[in-house]
Amino acid sequence: MPEAANILELRDISVKYGAIRAINNVSFSVKRGEILTLIGCNGAGKTTTLRAISSMVRVSGDVTFNGSSTAGERPETLVRRGLCHCPEGRGIFANMSVEENLSLGAFTRNDRDAIESDRQRVFTLFPRIKERLKQNAGTLSGGEQQMLAIGRALLSRPQLLLLDEPSLGLAPQLVQTIFRIIREINQQGVSILLVEQNAHMALQVAHTAVVLETGGVAMQGPASDLARSDAVRKAYLGH
């Protein structure tokens, strides 16, 4: 299969929760190898867009991942195709050890040696995770849990990583670290779709940005252009 230039394409996707339209005719695409950030206020439909991409909600419109449609797929089958979704609130299995959390990240894989080398890669990115391997994941601090969530996601060897608010609830210093690591992961060849409320940081790290407002795309373009635009600066950057 020839590699599509866009790892992900959304064409006019809409999601309804009962009678309420959460997102309406959203279209954008993520180029292979880039970081695209999806910014917007609470309730703009960012998380719903991610859930639509990973088939967690019923969606109308076309979602194309890696050249083929995701219609009829389930979240677990998409993981096998290389799409990994790191959910909002981290989704750590608090009753299991850090090590078990990591191995669940590699659930779809059987190549032991490659998994081990990916684990080592995760430990270089997050040395803290290595120190806490035997600990119960529920006892980790918020920042460590976020690192674990991202590390675990990497173990599925994703081509596209969906990150839902990785900076939520973290101290400013930690936010810096997380964003540095997101950039590193991207440089290693993983395309990233980053949902953020911290528009300031997100626009710095991303190549492309999409602004969602009340369920629809309000603006999209190169992240640096959007960071300079008056509308974005007023609404999301506060100056």
Partner 1 sequence: MADFLQILITAIAVGSLYALIALGYTMVYGILKFINFAHSDIFVLGAWTSLTASVCVITWLKLDTQQPPLWLAPVVLLCAMVVCGGVAFLVERLAYKPLRKSARLNVLITAIGVSLLLQNVGQLPGFTAAEKDGRSLATVPFGPSPSRMPSLLPDTSLISVPFPSGDPTIPAASVQVNLVDVFIFVSAMVLMFGLQHLVYRTKLGAAMRAVSFNTETASLMGVPVDRVMSFTFVTGAVLAAAAGFLYALKYPGLNQPAHEIWVLLGLKAFVAAVVGGIGNVRGAVLGGFLIALIEFMGMYLFSKYLDPLMGTNMGTNLRDVYVFSVLIVVLLVKPSGLLGTPVREKV
**Neighbour-count burial of 60, counting CB atoms closer than 10 A to its CB (0-12 exposed, 13-18 middle, 19+ buried):** exposed
CA dist., res. 102 & res. 129, Å (int): 10
Angstrom distance (rounded) from CA 201 to CA 171: 13
Binding site for partner 1 (CB under 8 A): 54, 56, 74-76, 79-80, 84-87, 89, 91-96, 100, 103-105, 107-108, 138-142, 145, 152, 156, 169
Q: CA–CA separation, 136 vs 170, rounded Å?
A: 20
In the complex, least distance from residue 167 CB atom to partner 1, rounded to whole angstroms: 14
Beta carbon nearer to partner 1, 99 or 225: 99
Query: CB of 93: closest distance to partner 1 in angstroms?
Result: 5
Residue 123 φ/ψ, nearest 5 degrees:
-65, -30
Between 70 and 145, whose beta carbon lies closer to partner 1?
145
Closest CB to partner 1 among residues 42, 95: 95
Query: Minimal distance in Å, beta carbon 56 to partner 1?
Result: 7
What would the two tokens of residue 195 be? 């949902």
Residue number with CB closer to partner 1 (169 or 222): 169
* Residues 6 or more apart in contact with residue 168 via CB below 8 angstroms: 88, 89, 197
Q: Which is nearer to partner 1, 145 or 198 (CB)?
A: 145
Report, in Å, the least distance between residue 236 CB and partner 1. Answer: 24
CB of 230 within 8 A of CB of 82?
no
Nearest-approach distance from CB 202 to partner 1, in angstroms:
22
End-to-end CA distance of the chain: 47
Nearer to partner 1, 81 or 207 (CB): 81
* Min CB(50)–partner 1 separation in Å: 10
Report the b/e string of 167-200 with b at 16+ CB within 10 A: bbebeeebbebbbebbeebbeeebbbbbbbbbbb
Backbone dihedral region for residue 61 (phi beyond 0: left; psi -120 to 50: alpha; all else: beta): left
